[in-house]
Amino acid sequence: MQDPRGAVPRTARLLEAAVALLCRLGGLLGAITGLVCFALVCVSVGWRYFLGQPQPWIDHVAAWLVVGLVMFAAGETQRREEHIGVEVLTARLPRAGRRAARILGAASVALTAAILLVEGIATVSFSRMIGIATNVEGVPLWWVHTLIPLGAALLLAAALAQVVVLACGLEPRGPERKAHHGVPGGRAE
């Protein structure tokens, strides 16, 4: 018979690994989106200042790409625990207090991401229903709005995986961390 206490942490680690894969893919899409945005802005500058032919559509597309970059990268940023934290306060807490603060922080991010997901879906549905178009011919606004629930879903998955892992008494697996609080390779525990 298997130890039930061993099954829960293994399941938490499998969930964490699956979410990490999705978040890394989102981070890759965010990086590609950023590079495309940079290339378009360079092309726009060339057309505007060297050829005297501004291309207004590029400004619109670049703005959408910035939204895409942020939304795609949000989950990976959460998974890596690179969002802003208040370590001045949490570093003074005992070990159990730090863990509780991390769980509360991840749960807060999950709640915010859930709200963003629900509202993002409503925004996509509304803009699709009334047929709003962008300033770029042939591009409906709901295509751009779809970036919001996609990014929110990645963020929600990353935060929930962290809550589960932390609640199981485990430490989330993110990338190698530099020395922090005088402890090589991670946070002071």
Q: Given a cut of 80, is residue 99 above it in pLDDT?
A: yes
Q: What percent of the chain has pLDDT over 70?
A: 88
- Res 151: pLDDT: 95
Pair of tokens at residue 159: 């935060």
- Rounded to a whole number of angstroms, the distance between the first and last alpha carbons of the chain is 33
Q: What percent of the chain has pLDDT over 90?
A: 59
Average pLDDT estimate for 29-50: 94
- Res 172: pLDDT: 86
Mean pLDDT, rounded, of the chain: 86
DSSP characters over 126-183: HHHHHT-B-SSTT-BHHHHHTHHHHHHHHHHHHHHHHHHHHHTTPPP--SPPPPBTTB
Neighbouring C-alpha atoms within 13 Å toward the C-beta of 145:
21
Average pLDDT estimate for 106-125: 96
Q: Given a cut of 50, is residue 121 above it in pLDDT?
A: yes
- Stated pTM of the model: 0.81
- Res 178: pLDDT: 45
pLDDT tens digit sequence for 43-81: 999 998 988 898 889 999 999 999 999 999 999 999 998
Residue 5's pLDDT band, with cuts at 50, 70 and 90, is: low
pLDDT tens digit sequence for 160-179: 999 999 999 888 887 654 44
Q: Beta-carbon neighbour count of residue 22 at 10 Å? A: 17
